Chains A and B, each alone.
Chain A
């Protein structure tokens, strides 16, 4: 009799777990912290997490012109966005980013009393799907020397692939030697060198939130009188920016899934096809402000360098030292979980035009022409194995 009760209790307790919802394992999330963080760092991570998710109201300083209400509203679950979150960029360094027309970025929304920017006619547009933000601390910690070692601007090895770094000058609020060039790693063209700058500019440009680094509201160029959003500037303290930067740095990349025979074969095909010439499987991080970031294997499948991807992918809009046909090799880590945070959908490439990994490969051109040709020549079974590998990262 007692056994029956014990069994019933066990069933009830097990059922309770399901009844009261179950947690997703950290390895299956885009917003899990790195292993090996201290309690203090985890506390900071939680604060930054809340700020990343925090939407702003007009009263709190949103706008006057803006694209969305929070970081998480574009970076779903800290992963990528979808086509209705794309940013439209215009202008280039040569033309002052067409500032009088609303460049470098079109803010398509505005608070009451201000007017949104409209996409000007006759200029090159660059549509940018929000990329995932996990693992960016590791990306930031890869030494420049490691990237330069991969660069081959003159294609001296004659493999048709000539990756080169995007040399950019960080904003003047970024600590370090003023006007010293750095290799950009963030953004679709690698046009931003540090997470601090990425964060400050996202607050300023994407949400219209002023910070100590950028204390003046971003105004519509034709409509400066509409000015203020009413909130006093800076709208968020330096501590908030620091918390978000620290949070981004501490975001772990998700683990790849278990190896299957297809995945194992796909790995070989991936390098045979020449994919790994650009999608370099592993880099190693160097020194970093957070101990857990130092000297780690960074299995991102990217060289973080620029490649000419041919006319079909070209936006014809230079950015930093990237030309109008070049794109930064995007990391492939986390592709396994991509659609989990997009309600089952997949959006790949810089503007989200590809709806599957196979489609993304077929869009490859320019320096990746050979790799694409290799892919097209694979048997269906080999193609499946290659997709299984890429989709398991």
Chain B
């Protein structure tokens, strides 16, 4: 445990050094090569961000705190507080062609730290930028834009957390780009080869098939890549329609070159849409997960899962708070559904959330949510839950 914290602290310290504003040595980046001979060439004080890139490396992030009251079948399950997330962004424009973006996520007071994103982008053309590193998998739109201050609800959609394991990131390489269509319209794409999922989605999961248990496949388990991509079309800034897929084998099917099983696929398909009409922003996603579960595990491990959500948000009261002219309120509603096993009538969860938000400025959200839902076990017996949630999330 102490080791974890030490590691966490050193990662954080290193991160702060990387992003710290730099004034001392660097005054004129164009004459960086005239800096006096460094104590150690390439050593800690001889890094480009100190000597040449000052002002181009920036640090930011977001933080989120929650108060949760949860009841399940009339029994209080939680009444407590969570320092849910503290995420640090670092971004560097290395040159006009090369950028680096990174996000380090610290969850639940430091118990979980992960490098959520760290990618190098090499731009060749608007229609083609090469990306490599730790990628955010473009499966559904929510995974690509899931920051708490952006999400209008305290919780992420069930389909994202329970089915797809958002935030889902994987090591990989590929490209993204955009093409203009008529007027303000455009088509964007992202396509990557990644390590994919590992067999933890079955072997580590006591609850049945769970894709989220098969993530963090940093040392590729099966020497076979997976492919993930998303294609999105939008007619104008207020509309977007996206389709995405993540396909590839998840199991270790060869040991030292000898086959021990056939390659078993996990294929995920998602459809997402977003649009604004009559002042209401609607967004939603639907996903289907197909897993080739070993025959001997079927019946208790699902081969097909599905889920969907729809968010409706209606901002109002801009500037009502006199002292905060940029402030606004929003009314919101969400419907959530996940079916953990399509072959069964039970094993699902459905819920409805509603509430109101206040944003002092666009970058900070105070959210009040009421959630009411029903889960069904594998016998299709119902269990009801209700949450009252309050949270604050802000970018910095």
Contacts and interface: CB of A to CB of B under 8 A. Distances in A.
**Which bracket fits the contact residues of A?**
20 to 34
Interface string A85-118: 0000000000000000000000001111111100
A77 B381 contact: yes
B233 to A, nearest CB: 40
A115 B296 CA distance: 7
Interface in B157-172: none
Interface stretch (B34-42, B71-79, B309-317): B71-79
Interface stretch (B197-205, B219-227, B330-338): B197-205
A316 to B, nearest CB: 27
A20 interface: yes
Interface in B60-81: 71-75
B296 A21 contact: no
Nearest to A81: B379
A82 B204 contact: no
A23 B296 contact: no
B296 A76 contact: no
B296 A20 contact: no
Contact of A109 (B74, B297, B346, B372): B297
A167 interface: no
Contacts of A24: 73-74
Contacts of B345: 343
A109 B379 CA distance: 19
Interface stretch (A55-63, A356-364, A373-381): A55-63
A19 B372 contact: yes
B384 interface: yes
A54 interface: yes
A57 B204 contact: yes
A68 interface: yes
Given A55-B206, A109-B300, A341 B386 contact: no
B72 A21 contact: yes
B75 A59 contact: no
A32 interface: no
Contact of A23 (B75, B200, B208): B75
A342 B379 contact: yes
Interface in A315-345: 340-343
A35 interface: no
B381 A21 contact: no
Contacts of A73: 300, 378
Nearest to B370: A19
B363 interface: no
B379 A111 contact: no
- Chain B contact residues, majority secondary structure: loop
B259 to A, nearest CB: 12
B379 A341 contact: yes
Among A70, A112, A340, A341: residue with most chain B CB under 10 A: A112
Contacts of B73: 21-24
Given A58-B202, A112-B202, A21 B386 contact: yes
B386 A19 contact: yes
Contacts of B299: 84, 109
B251 interface: yes
Contacts of B296: 109-112, 114-116
A343 B379 contact: yes
Contacts of B300: 68-69, 73, 109
Nearest to A54: B206
A140 to B, nearest CB: 26
Contacts of A57: 203-206
B318 to A, nearest CB: 30
Among B71, B205, B206: residue with most chain A CB under 10 A: B206
A22 B202 CA distance: 34
Contacts of B72: 21
Nearest to A341: B381
A343 B382 CA distance: 8
B112 interface: no
A21 B379 CA distance: 20
Interface in B371-396: 372, 377-381, 384-386, 388
Contacts of A112: 199, 202-203, 251, 261, 294, 296-297
Among A19, A24, A59: residue with most chain B CB under 10 A: A59
B258 interface: no
Contact of B206 (A21, A69, A342): A69
Contacts of A22: 73-74
Given A58-B203, A59-B204, A109-B300, A76 B379 contact: yes
Contact of A21 (B71, B207, B380): B71
Interface in A252-291: none
A341 B251 CA distance: 36
B44 interface: no
Nearest to B376: A343
Interface in B251-269: 251, 260-261
Given A111-B296, A343-B381, A21 B74 contact: yes
A344 to B, nearest CB: 9
Nearest to B213: A57
A69 B261 CA distance: 23
A282 B294 CA distance: 49
Contacts of B380: 343
Nearest to A229: B203
Nearest to B76: A20
A23 B203 contact: no
A331 B294 CA distance: 39
Contacts of A70: 206
A343 B380 CA distance: 6
A55 B205 CA distance: 9
Contact of A113 (B204, B206, B260, B346): B260
Contacts of B377: 76
Contacts of B208: 69
B266 to A, nearest CB: 14
Interface in A7-29: 19-24
B375 to A, nearest CB: 11
A313 B199 CA distance: 44
B381 A76 contact: yes
Among A22, A58, A82, A340: residue with most chain B CB under 10 A: A58
Interface in B294-325: 294, 296-297, 299-300
B50 to A, nearest CB: 45
A73 B301 CA distance: 13
Contacts of B388: 20
A197 B371 CA distance: 44
23 contacts: A19-B370, A19-B386, A20-B74, A20-B388, A21-B72, A21-B73, A22-B73, A23-B73, A24-B73, A54-B206, A57-B205, A58-B202, A59-B204, A68-B300, A73-B300, A110-B296, A110-B297, A111-B296, A112-B199, A112-B261, A113-B260, A341-B379, A341-B381
Q: Which 7 A-B pairs have the closest CB atoms?
A: A23-B74, A343-B380, A55-B206, A110-B296, A57-B206, A58-B203, A21-B384
Given A24-B73, A56-B206, A59-B200, 15 more contacts: A21-B72, A21-B73, A21-B384, A55-B206, A57-B203, A59-B203, A62-B206, A109-B299, A110-B297, A111-B297, A112-B202, A112-B294, A112-B296, A113-B261, A343-B346
